């Protein structure tokens, strides 16, 4: 089939914020312990950080990493995770029914961030704690010195402040599973007062208020409206979380997941703008999609994990080629909403529903979903153009009319380059791509075609075949504009 992409240089959605390619490290399962941190691993450095994991993370060029939760944060005391490691208390994490040794705390995370070249985004516990604990943590991290808390940080070995710029006002506080879950009014009031205290400390800090845990929550989207009514003055971003599943092994529906993400984002934008109108405000509320991914493979196995251990095997989804196609579509969705979505965190980074897997004492490798994320991070940071697709559709019982192509077009002015990301959702037909881009001075010239494709939708990478699913650079002299059936593609065009 054919797919024509219509674009114009003057129709721009926005400039993609590099923070769209952020990720998330929760104190959960083997994300930290046995993931990015493994004391006795032969590849670990003097701080116990796995250098092979650092390499894989650095390759993804992740600008920001959310920490330390997730549900974890809602029953965590930050004081437990600072100071001399052997004096830190061992706690029970009620969220994941795990033992929390607090060995890898705030300083360790900050040090790791520096090593991988990323910025921290810190979540505050608004489940069991309030204003005092939150402002104390912010002061501990960010105040230069001369106060009890900032001097405490210095005594813990961090002379310079951490200068953490983004702070999450709690996590998924709409979820009944959350320790210290709140109603929209309860949360909105608490977040407003915590946020106010933090802005009194430093008005330049950016705060994320909790939106809904997903669009199927019974309180969505009235939660958003109520929370924004309370927090409008202090919140800079509203969060969105969404995970996608293919329980019924229905590929056509699963591949259309980006339509659900599109709709979720757009509904939340509408709520934001409704509250803005009610507030007679000039402020635009931006979105932080700070948890998103495919997540369902590990659900059954997780029920069998014993309680109260460190580094449990939890949420260890082994991703298929099919999942990678979905992740590609979801990245497209984030890019085409870059006017409002400024932050997005692939959840999570290592082992726990993650692009990177490790074996204890063994190797690490990239899962299938690593690759669309890798290329989006590398070529997505430009001006996203507002495209129209001329492509056939299929009827889906869940999503209605679904175009066979999910595409996004990114313009890099400096490089004079146009990058077209296309997922061909068809399970049968090759797609001939043509790009009709108006307003550029010269003819476009295809300079590279990167393809992620496999005949087996359920194929995946593992320790023994870590590169089973991996992108290939196509020979563009032969079939330059063809996206094979069930494939993720990046077409790079030179303008000059």
Residues that bind a copy of itself (CB under 8 A): 75, 77, 89-92, 94-95, 97, 99, 127-132, 135, 139, 143, 146-149, 151, 176, 179-181, 183, 186, 189, 193, 196-197, 200-201, 308
Nearer to a copy of itself by Cβ, of 76 and 297: the residue is 76
| Shortest distance in whole angstroms from residue 458 CB to a copy of itself | 35
Count of CB atoms situated within 10 Å of the CB of 415: 14
Q: H or E segment at 94? A: none
To a copy of itself, the closest distance from the beta carbon of 93 in angstroms equals: 9
Check 26, 38, 119, 172 and give the catalytic one: 172
| SS3 assignment, position 491 | strand
- For the CB of residue 208, give the shortest distance to a copy of itself in the complex, in Å: 20
| Active-site position among 108, 139, 206, 291 | 291
Measuring CA to CA, which residue among 386, 396, 323, 389 is closest to residue 353?
A: 323
Whichever of 127 and 372 has its CB closer to a copy of itself, that residue is 127
d(CA 346, CA 103): 24
Query: Residue 446 — φ and ψ, nearest 5°?
Result: -65, 125
If the CB atoms of residues 151 and 479 are measured against a copy of itself, the closer one turns out to be: 151
Distance from C-alpha of 229 to C-alpha of 164, rounded to nearest angstrom:
26
Whichever of 74 and 333 has its CB closer to a copy of itself, that residue is 74
Minimum separation from the CB atom of position 291 to a copy of itself (A): 20
d(CA 477, CA 485): 20
> Is 87 among the residues known to form the active site?
no
429 noted as active-site residue: no
Least distance in angstroms from the C-beta of 139 to a copy of itself: 6
Output 129 or 297, the one with its CB closest to a copy of itself: 129
d(CA 439, CA 27): 49
The three-class DSSP label of residue 382 is: coil
Helix (H) / strand (E) element for 412: namely: strand 405-412
CB-count burial class (<10 Å; 0-12, 13-18, 19+) for 99: middle
Measuring CA to CA, how many Å separate 128 from each of 81, 195, 328, 470? 16, 16, 37, 44
Residues 329, 335: Cα–Cα separation, whole Å: 10
Beta bridge partners of 383: 15, 411
Residue 149 CB, nearest approach to a copy of itself (Å): 8
For a copy of itself, give the closer residue by CB, 234 or 431: 234
Measured CA to CA, the distance from residue 191 to residue 170 in angstroms comes to 8
Task: Pick the closer one to a copy of itself by CB: 18 or 181.
Answer: 181
Q: Which is nearer to a copy of itself, 4 or 309 (CB)?
A: 309
Least distance (Å) from a copy of itself to the CB of residue 148?
3
* 284 DSSP 8-state letter: P
Longest dimension (CA), the chain: 68
- What is the nearest approach in angstroms of a copy of itself to the Cβ of residue 128? 5
Kindly list the distances between the CA atom of residue 335 and the CA atoms of 200, 261, 322, 386, 453, in Å, as whole numbers in the listed order.
Answer: 33, 11, 20, 10, 22
Active site (catalytic) residues: 172, 291
């Amino acid at each position: 089939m054919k797919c024509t992409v219509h674009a114009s240089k003057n129709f721009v959605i926005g400039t993609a914020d590099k923070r769209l390619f952020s990720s998330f490290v929760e104190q959960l399962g083997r994300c930290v312990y046995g993931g990015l941190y493994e004391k006795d691993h032969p590849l670990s450095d003097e701080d116990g950080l796995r250098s092979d994991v650092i390499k894989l993370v650095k390759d993804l060029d992740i600008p920001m990493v959310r920490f330390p939760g997730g549900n974890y944060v809602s029953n965590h005391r930050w004081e437990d995770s600072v100071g001399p490691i052997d004096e830190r208390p061992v706690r029970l994490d009620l969220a994941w029914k795990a033992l929390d040794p607090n060995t890898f705390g705030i300083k360790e995370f900050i040090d790791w961030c520096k090593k991988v070249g990323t910025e921290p985004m810190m979540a505050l516990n608004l489940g069991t704690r309030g204003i005092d604990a939150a402002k104390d943590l912010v002061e501990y991290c960010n105040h230069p010195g001369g106060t009890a808390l900032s001097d405490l940080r210095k005594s813990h070995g961090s002379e310079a402040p951490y200068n953490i710029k983004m702070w999450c006002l709690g996590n998924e506080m709409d979820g009944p599973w959350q320790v210290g879950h709140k109603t929209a009014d309860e949360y909105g009031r608490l977040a407003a007062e915590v946020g106010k205290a933090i802005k009194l400390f430093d008005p330049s800090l950016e705060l994320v208020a909790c939106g809904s845990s997903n669009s199927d929550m019974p309180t969505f989207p009235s939660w958003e409206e109520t929370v924004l009514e309370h927090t409008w003055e202090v919140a800079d971003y509203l969060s969105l979380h969404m995970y996608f599943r293919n329980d019924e092994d229905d590929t056509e529906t699963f591949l259309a997941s980006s339509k659900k993400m599109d709709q979720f984002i757009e509904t939340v934008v509408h709520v934001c703008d409704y509250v803005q109108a009610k507030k007679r405000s000039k402020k635009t509320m931006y979105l932080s999609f700070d948890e998103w991914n495919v997540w369902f493979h590990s659900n059954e196995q997780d029920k069998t994990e014993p309680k109260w251990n460190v580094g449990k095997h939890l949420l260890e989804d082994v991703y298929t080629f099919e999942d990678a196609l979905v992740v590609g579509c979801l990245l497209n969705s984030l890019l085409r909403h870059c006017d409002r979505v400024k932050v997005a965190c692939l959840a999570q980074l290592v082992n726990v529903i993650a692009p990177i897997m490790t074996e204890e004492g063994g190797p690490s490798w990239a899962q299938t979903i690593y690759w669309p994320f890798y290329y989006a991070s590398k070529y997505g940071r430009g001006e996203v153009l507002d495209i129209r697709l001329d492509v056939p559709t299929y009827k889906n019982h869940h999503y209605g009319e679904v175009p066979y192509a999910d595409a996004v077009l990114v313009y890099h002015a400096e490089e004079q380059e146009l990058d077209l990301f296309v997922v061909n959702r068809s399970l049968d037909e090759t797609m001939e791509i043509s790009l009709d881009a108006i307003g550029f001075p010269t003819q476009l010239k295809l300079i590279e075609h990167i393809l992620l494709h496999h005949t087996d939708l359920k194929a995946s990478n593992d320790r023994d075949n870590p590169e089973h699913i991996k992108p290939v650079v196509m020979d563009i002299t032969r079939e330059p504009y063809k996206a094979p059936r069930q494939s993720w593609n990046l077409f790079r065009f030179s303008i000059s």
